[in-house]
């Protein structure tokens, strides 16, 4: 119940209804018990007393009470009972007034001081049946419960809708917006969320556009630098070594620019390029041969962008080669539950638990994986996640039994 606001409101309605009924009954009892007697009661008592035979008050009082279906008690001026019908009522107290209530336990009972000095008590007996009260209470709670549930749900369904929109936006669906209706607190909250989401998306779009433009513009200077470096080689061993080092740095920078451009395209385009049937096992085997990985599994075919999928597998294998400590790399392809899986395993130091999700963020490197000629810049795994998600899948990290890492890619449904 704590997880759903509408259930809390619903329960509050039911409890309030129950408490209200109980409190109303209690207050009514207090007020009714102490209220003043109606003015016509004394004349009515005089009329009843006139029907009692003074010569035989006992018998005539009993007969009159039976005929009127009320309880009667007649006292003389000294408050001695001289006749009654039904139960003998409690003796009145002259200090309490000429007309007074006597009891409410078995029903209303009152006493009236007659003009001749006698006192006449009148009562009506009622029978308390707790079953009627229970049935009434059950019916009240049932009706309240049925009527308040749709009311509570109507109040909170828009909050639930806003929560789902926020969850979608938090998962990366930046175009998710709340359909604002009305002008109440929920509508104002939805407008505030939409405004904040628009600002964030505009900032991210501007950042991506700037990054893509800068990456694209870097290609031309890099080509010119590469050509100039090659022209510096005069054939001497010293110059050849310098040119070779510079060429490797240029190639690394060119690869980084390519990764940035690819990341920008993936983020700007909701779907990858043209799809075609791809033999995952054959693709992994070809890429595994480049790094000397051991590949196993069964032939599994998926419909995918072959170029993008190859890039994702290559990045995983290169990551295993770079951080695997020189140990053998293993890759496995399998089909399970109508989906294709690719697992790449190494015997490297592994990834600390706090970093196991963050390693898929752009430019993030886990502790101990410093940037260098063999360390990369932290874009490889981020690209893997983007490519796999564009194919309706997901990539996960888990520690390998006996030490090392396992990166498992889950691709979309099999054709």
Q: State percent of the chain over pLDDT 70.
A: 79
383-401: b (≥16 Cβ within 10 Å) or e? bbbbbbebbebebebeebe
What one-character DSSP code corresponds to residue 358? G
Q: Which residue has the higher pLDDT, 229 or 360?
A: 360
3-state DSSP assignment of residue 49 = helix
Most confident of the ranges 23-27, 160-164, 254-258 = 160-164
Task: For each of the domains in the chain, give its residue range(s) and CATH number, in order of start.
Answer: 36-123 (3.30.450.20), 200-268 (1.10.287.130), 276-413 (3.30.565.10)
pTM given for the model = 0.48
pLDDT in tens, 310-330: 888 988 998 898 888 788 899
pLDDT in tens, 173-188: 778 898 988 777 788 8
Both structure tokens of 270: 């909701």
Q: State percent of the chain over pLDDT 90.
A: 19
CB 319 within 8 A of CB 407: yes
Q: Which residue has the higher pLDDT, 126 or 273?
A: 126
294 pLDDT band (50/70/90 cuts)?
A: very high
> What is the C-alpha to C-alpha distance for residues 304 and 61, in angstroms, rounded to an integer?
105
pLDDT at 373 > cutoff 50: no
Task: Give the pLDDT mean for 86-111.
Answer: 85
The secondary structure of 374-387 as a DSSP string is TT--S-HHHHHHHH
> What is the C-alpha to C-alpha distance for residues 345 and 407, in angstroms, rounded to an integer?
7
Question: Cα–Cα distances in Å, from 330 out to 28, 268, 283?
Answer: 82, 33, 14
Bridge partner residues of 290 (DSSP): none
Question: In whole numbers, what is the pLDDT of the chain averaged over residues?
Answer: 80
Give the pLDDT confidence score for residue 63 in this predicted structure: 92
């Amino acid at each position: 119940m704590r997880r759903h606001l509408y259930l809390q409101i619903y329960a509050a309605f039911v409890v309030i209804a129950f408490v209200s009924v109980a409190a109303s009954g209690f207050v009514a009892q207090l007020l009714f018990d102490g209220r003043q007697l109606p003015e016509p009661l004394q004349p009515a008592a005089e009329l009843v007393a006139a029907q009692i035979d003074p010569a035989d008050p006992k018998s005539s009082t009993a007969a009159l009470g039976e005929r009127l279906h009320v309880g009667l008690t007649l006292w003389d001026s000294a408050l001695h009972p001289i006749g009654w019908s039904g139960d003998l009522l409690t003796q009145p107290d002259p200090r309490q007034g000429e007309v007074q209530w006597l009891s409410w336990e078995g029903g209303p009972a009152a006493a009236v001081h007659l003009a001749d000095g006698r006192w006449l008590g009148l009562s009506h007996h009622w029978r308390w049946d707790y079953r009627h009260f229970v049935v009434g209470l059950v019916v009240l709670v049932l009706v309240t419960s049925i009527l308040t549930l749709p009311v509570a749900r109507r109040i909170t369904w828009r909050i639930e809708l806003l929560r789902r929109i926020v969850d979608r936006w938090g998962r990366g669906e930046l175009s998710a917006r709340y359909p604002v209706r009305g002008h109440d607190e929920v509508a104002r909250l939805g407008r505030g969320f939409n405004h904040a989401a628009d600002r964030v998306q505009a900032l991210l779009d501007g950042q991506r556009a700037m990054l893509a433009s800068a990456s694209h513009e870097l290609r031309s200077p890099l080509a010119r630098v590469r050509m100039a470096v090659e022209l510096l080689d005069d054939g001497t061993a010293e110059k050849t070594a310098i040119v070779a080092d510079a060429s490797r740095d240029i190639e690394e920078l060119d690869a980084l620019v390519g990764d940035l451009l690819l990341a920008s395209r993936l983020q700007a385009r909701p779907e990858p390029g043209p799809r075609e049937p791809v033999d995952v096992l054959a693709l992994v085997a070809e890429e595994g041969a480049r790094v000397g990985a051991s590949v196993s599994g069964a032939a599994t075919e998926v419909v995918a962008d072959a170029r993008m999928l190859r890039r994702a597998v290559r990045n995983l294998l290169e990551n295993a080669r770079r951080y695997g400590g020189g140990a053998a790399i293993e890759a496995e392809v399998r089909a399970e539950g109508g989906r294709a899986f690719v697992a790449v395993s190494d015997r490297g130091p592994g990834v600390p638990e706090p970093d196991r999700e963050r390693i898929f963020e752009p430019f993030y490197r886990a502790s101990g994986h410093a940037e260098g000629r063999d360390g990369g810049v932290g874009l490889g795994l981020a690209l893997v996640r983007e490519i796999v998600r564009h194919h309706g899948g997901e990539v996960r990290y888990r520690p390998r039994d006996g030490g090392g890492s396992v990166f498992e890619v889950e691709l979309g449904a099999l054709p």
